[in-house]
Amino acid sequence: MLVRMRVVLLLLVLAASFAIADNKKKNSLPTFVLKARTVVILIDPDAGISANSPLANETAQEDVEKAIVKWGRLTPVMETQTADLVITVRKSSGKLVQSTIGGAPTNDRPVVVQPTDNGVRFGGQQGHTPDVAQSGPQDTKPYPKTEIGPAEDIFVVYEGRTDAPGPLERPPVWRYVAKDALHSPDVPAVAEFRKLIETAEKQQKSKP
């Protein structure tokens, strides 16, 4: 039991270290990110459903989409094949270790209807989102699972329009991990991503 607790603590320390390192990588964006115009926002396929807040990830997904639409630079789409970028979100419960329910089809969204400042956004999708791998049992039966990871919200950006392996099987382009990073209506993760892109563009223009 003591050995198991030490392993868990070591994993938590490593996760926190990687989160800090990812948040500090603010000036190294590939060119394809600056040229991107479409994006798909997904719930982290490995995220389980919290018994206390079963709709937390779905709400965070919608809040990120609304913030992206309000920004105006990127257009949300429903499929990874048509997306220049793929963003995954994971709402935290504020706990380093929590019990959740796995096995649910988290990224099945038959119809999306969202009010925006410019009107209403409609979208449609049938079946599972392609190229999205999910760990654990590959069936639709719910099962209990224990999640160990950062106690903060997670926002991760991947390159879209990629051949095999799928976008989520490739290294992420940028990751933002912070408390209330997905909080509505400001959604700080989107604000930080926007700031990062604008800074990179200014640096690019200043080069001779």
28-78 tens-digit pLDDT? 789 999 999 999 999 999 888 887 788 899 999 999 999 999 999 999 998
Q: Is the pLDDT of residue 19 over 80?
A: no
pLDDT tens across 64-119, in order?
999 999 999 999 998 888 899 999 999 987 777 777 777 777 787 665 545 555 54
Confidence band, pLDDT 50/70/90 cuts, at residue 13: very low
Q: Is the pLDDT of residue 8 over 50?
A: no
Per the structure, the count of domains in the chain is: 1
What pLDDT is recorded for position 112? 53
Residues with Cβ within 8 Å of 122's Cβ and at least 6 positions away in sequence, in order, are 111, 112, 113
What pLDDT is recorded for position 91? 92
Mean pLDDT comparison of 5-9, 134-138, 175-179, highest-scoring range: 175-179
What pLDDT is recorded for position 90? 94
Mean pLDDT comparison of 6-10, 49-53, 156-160, 164-168, highest-scoring range: 156-160
% of the chain residues with pLDDT over 70: 71
In whole angstroms, what is the distance from residue 94 CA to residue 151 CA? 5
Buried b / exposed e over 107-138, threshold 16 CB at 10 Å, is: bebeeeeeeeeeeeeebebeeebebbebeeee
Residues with Cβ within 8 Å of 174's Cβ and at least 6 positions away in sequence, in order, are 22, 25, 29, 33, 156, 157, 193, 196
What pLDDT is recorded for position 79? 86
What pLDDT is recorded for position 115? 54
% of the chain residues with pLDDT over 90: 40
CA angle 89, 48, 194 (to 5 degrees): 5
Q: Considering the chain, what is the average pLDDT of its residues?
A: 78
Q: Is the pLDDT of residue 24 over 50?
A: no
Q: Show the domain range for 63.
A: 2-206
